[in-house]
Structure 1
Amino acid sequence: MATANLKLIKAFRGTIDKLKNGATYQWGHMGACNCGNLAQEITQYTKGDIHRYAMERHGDWNDQLIDYCPTSGLPMDEVIDQLLSAGLTLSDLAHLEKLTSPEVLKEMPLSKRNNLRKNVKEDVIFYMEVWVNILEEKWMQQQNINLNINEIKMFHKNNDEAVLA
């Protein structure tokens, strides 16, 4: 699973907020799908840029991840490089696009887990929320911060910008 770090946590939180507040979501669009929305937040490229870069090769995100070469010089590989530098793995990205990470799924109620749809914005938001909560918990443990979940939520509500800046 992804390396828990503040940059990645901030990117997930930003992506979630943008999706909740009307950001374009289109699963079949390389820059506006599950990975595309997170990539926008991490890379600061537009959805159009990411889609255009992806169209220089064939396939969806999964195909792009399989064909990824860090020395290709292709813009899409630069996008993927930035995602990996933020702490994600190729496997994380493949799971994000299809909402299939075993670590994320096991934290969901069974009824929700069994009804996730990879191309439904609300399900993507829920999946990302569960994932970012896992990352935050891991990061807190790495920092030896022992707060209960309510304290963590209050901490983020009151200090989100200061903590994640």
Structure 2
Amino acid sequence: MKLAFALTAAIVLVATSAGAQNFKTYGSAGDWEIAINENMGPGCVAIEKFVNPTSQVQLGIDATNSERTGYVAIYVEDADGVEAGEEIPARLELDGETFEGTFMGQRTDGMGGAFVPVNNPDFVMDLEKADALTIEYGDGYKVVADLSDADAALATLRECQDAQ
């Protein structure tokens, strides 16, 4: 499976600057907001927000270098115990395949979370082939991003990035 190989080979363990996220709204598709992240190049990001707990999953493109990369991030409001730069054991499950690695902790805009870059921007776009992305991190934290409606969001993400 192309996606599995891309993720296995692509998880890179690097820290990123947590600073405030500088987003401009680009559009929306289903439950997903598509934004331009000025701190990423500019790069575009698809964001799905959740309640109970207030959290969000971000699937984005980092265009800060000539070779674009992708990233997956999760943020939870008032996430106690998550410190910027902290290495957090994590597991991604994508349509039954599990990948383990280390996310880097971040604090931004009153939220704590974790960020993992992938060196293949196609990884993010290939998520449209999946039904769900489960992210487990730290001590028992788990978020499931329903990707069944992500096709339109990822098409809009691609359109957004092409316009940058």
Normalised-by-shorter TM-score class: under 0.3
Q: Which has the larger radius of gyration?
A: 1
Structure with bigger helix share is 1
Q: State the TM-score, normalized to the length of structure 2.
A: 0.28
Structure 1 length-normalised TM? 0.28
> Which structure is higher in RCO with an 8 Å CA cutoff and minimum separation 6?
1
